[in-house]
Amino acid sequence: MVYTAKIPVPASNKEISVSTGLFINNEFVSSVDSSEVIQCFNPATEEVIASVVAGSSKDIDVAVAAARQAFKTTWGKNVTGWERSRLINKLADLIERDSQELAELETLNNGKPVAVARDFDIGDSIQCLRYYAGWADKITGQTIEVDNKNKMAFTRHEPIGVCGQIIPWNYPINMWAWKVAPALAVGCTIVMKPSELTPLTALKLSELVVEAGFPPGVINTVPSLGNVGGAALSAHLDVDKIAFTGSTITGRKIMEAAAKSNLKKVSLELGGKSPQLIFESADLQQAAAWTALGICYNTGQDCTAGSRVYVQDSVYDKFIDVLVSTVKETVIGNGFDKNTGGGPLVSKAQFDRVWGYIDAGKAEGAKVVLGGERRNTKGYFVDPTIFTDINSEMKIVKEEIFGPVLSIGRFKTEEEAIALANNTTYGLGAGLHSTDASQCMRVSGLLEAGTVWVNQYNMLSNNVPFGGKKQSGIGRELGSYALEEYTSIKAVHWNIGEKLQWPL
């Protein structure tokens, strides 16, 4: 039996209702073979706010079959770019209409402040959908001159087919939009597995998918445990492509499963240990502000979190002062409190993980210049913590923490800075702060990262591509580049004049 959860919104008379079944073929249904549920928590209160059906691997089969059927009949090559554009725009309009409620639901399950969820996460998601709605009727191939007498050659940019999409818990709605928009624009159908920690907004958005008028089976939402639904999608023989955002460890498993099953196409957005370099010519106040953003935004739960900062010797002491006083202003608290800048960490597991790193940092001899003290309250709150006196061998310097924990080192020369920055298996983001334009050019050219920010950090635009070098990922999201991840090229050679002699 499929239920609707009614979740009360703190400090109001409102209740948000969410269908808690699996969303397949435009309907919310029970699992075909399991009675497992996933409990959803409010990380500020540690309380359960809802339970949703946990999809099994058989449910994944059902969802994939629905997506395949839609791809063969009502979507894929059976729907025009204009119709796809219209529907994606309609979906964006509906999300805009419901943005307050969606923001509150996001805060209840993820913890981030309501205003941030509404104005940034959801605001950007609406723009993302509209951006890709604009691409839907602009998918062009090429005509290629080979030989005008005998051949006409051209390419068709076809949708890949049924796409499995697995998204994380740090930006549930925004990551949903990044995945769904380009896939739909190009004509693919989707089986989406939202994070088991934060499935509620994906389910709520599924209601809007129906209202917007998408045919059944075009988008399917199957909340499930990673090692159940995620594994099933990665290994499924009838899924043409898998797109995953999450940890590098899980990314490896997904790529392995893809290789072992049907060589499905794989795109991955994985972890990072992104560095920021503060050169002596930098505007230190600004650099400190961007550094604070880099590690405190979303309470450090960001794949591009600027979690390592290297400061040039000559400005080191000054910068540390400015930085500590800037970061001190950060308010970590309940997402429904208007003064809160950042919410709690999303779960107990993440909370324990981050504390494990803070403890390791202290044990390995790094110095705490801010934070590092536990609160004794309910909720997975961690205050911004800054370590100095680091070395490259420390766990807190090498591994992705995914919390508001910053490691600060120092350098003398530009070459040293670049070497320190690149000394990682990751390559997602990097920032540099300098008012020497030639230096900016040189350094940005040498940093091994998919996104380099100059005198800025963490600001993205829907039309600029995003993704990782090295072990931070494969493929790009956003911009026109995302379309390539969901497009399959067919070259057509059309003989208009050649007569063949055999044997040659």
Partner 1 sequence: MVSTFTHEFNTPVYKGRASFSTGLYINGKFVEGSDKTTIDVINPSTGKVITKVAEATAKDVDIAVDAAQKAFETTWGLNSGGAERSKLLGKLARLMEEHQQELAALEALDNGKTFTWAMNADTAVAIDTIRYYAGWADKIHGQVQETDEKKLTYSRHEPIGVVGQIIPWNFPLLMMAWKLGPALATGNCIVLKPSEFTPLTAIRMCELIHQAGFPPGVFNLLTGYGSTVGAAIASHMKIEKIAFTGSTMVGRKIMEAAAKSNLKNVTLELGGKNPNIIFNDADLDQAVNWAAHGSYWNHGQACTAGSRIYVQSGVYDEFLAKFTEKVRSLKVGDPFAVDSYQGPQASKVQYDRIMNFIQSGKDQGATVHLGGDRNGTEGYYINPTIFTNTTPNMKIVQEEIFGPVGVVIKFDDEEDVIRQANDTVFGLAAAVFSQNITRAITTAHRLKAGTAWINCVNQIHSNVPFGGFKQSGIGRELGEYALHNYTAVKAVQVNLGYVM
What are the catalytic residues?
269
Q: Which two tokens stand for residue 48?
A: 């359960």
Residue 500 in contact with partner 1, rule: CB under 8 A: no
Positions in 76-95 near partner 1 (CB under 8 A): 81-82, 85, 89
Candidates 102-110, 126-134, 168-176, 311-319; binding stretch for partner 1 (CB under 8 A) = 126-134
Residue number with CB closer to partner 1 (82 or 359): 82
Cβ contact 232:65 at 8 Å: no
Residue 140 in contact with partner 1, rule: CB under 8 A: yes
Considering the complex, what minimum distance in angstroms separates the CB of residue 134 from partner 1? Answer: 3
Candidates 34-42, 259-267, 322-330, 440-448; binding stretch for partner 1 (CB under 8 A) = 440-448
Residue number with CB closer to partner 1 (37 or 446): 446
d(CA 194, CA 63): 14
Candidates 29-37, 107-115, 376-384, 436-444; binding stretch for partner 1 (CB under 8 A) = 436-444
Spell out the alpha helix ranges (H) of 241-376. 248-260, 284-296, 316-327, 348-363
Among 45, 100, 127, 423, binds partner 1 (CB under 8 A): 127
Per-residue buried b or exposed e for 268-300, using 16+ beta carbons within 10 Å of the residue's own CB: bbbbbbbbbbbbbebebeebbbbbbbbbbbbbb
Residue 498 in contact with partner 1, rule: CB under 8 A: no
Residue 155 in contact with partner 1, rule: CB under 8 A: no
Residue 496 in contact with partner 1, rule: CB under 8 A: yes
CA atoms within 13 A on the CB side of 470: 16
Among 9, 152, 368, 454, binds partner 1 (CB under 8 A): 152
d(CA 224, CA 54): 5
Cβ neighbors of 478 (< 8 A, separation 6 or more) are: 128, 178, 460, 461, 462, 463, 464, 465, 466
Q: Which two tokens stand for residue 500?
A: 């063949």
Residue 133 in contact with partner 1, rule: CB under 8 A: yes
Residue number with CB closer to partner 1 (92 or 390): 92
Question: Which x/- pattern, by CB under 8 A, does the window 470-489 give for partner 1?
Answer: ----------x---------
d(CA 137, CA 159): 13
Cβ contact 67:136 at 8 Å: no
Candidates 16-24, 127-135, 286-294, 447-455; binding stretch for partner 1 (CB under 8 A) = 127-135
Residue number with CB closer to partner 1 (146 or 441): 441
Residue number with CB closer to partner 1 (61 or 137): 137
Residue 503 in contact with partner 1, rule: CB under 8 A: no
Considering the complex, what minimum distance in angstroms separates the CB of residue 480 from partner 1? Answer: 7
Cβ contact 221:23 at 8 Å: yes
Residue 463 in contact with partner 1, rule: CB under 8 A: yes
Cβ contact 106:122 at 8 Å: yes
Candidates 20-28, 193-201, 268-276, 494-502; binding stretch for partner 1 (CB under 8 A) = 494-502
d(CA 35, CA 53): 7
Q: Strand runs (DSSP E) across 418-498, as ranges?
A: 429-433, 451-454, 473-474, 487-495
Residue number with CB closer to partner 1 (181 or 303): 181
Among 112, 130, 204, 241, binds partner 1 (CB under 8 A): 130
Residue 48 in contact with partner 1, rule: CB under 8 A: no
d(CA 417, CA 409): 10
Among 157, 395, 442, 469, binds partner 1 (CB under 8 A): 442
d(CA 221, CA 195): 11
Strands 4-8 and 15-19: antiparallel
Count of chain residues binding partner 1 (CB under 8 A):
26
SS3 (DSSP) at 451: strand
- Residues in contact with partner 1 by CB under 8 A are 81-82, 85, 89, 127, 130-131, 133-138, 140, 148, 152, 438, 441-442, 445, 462-463, 480, 494, 496-497
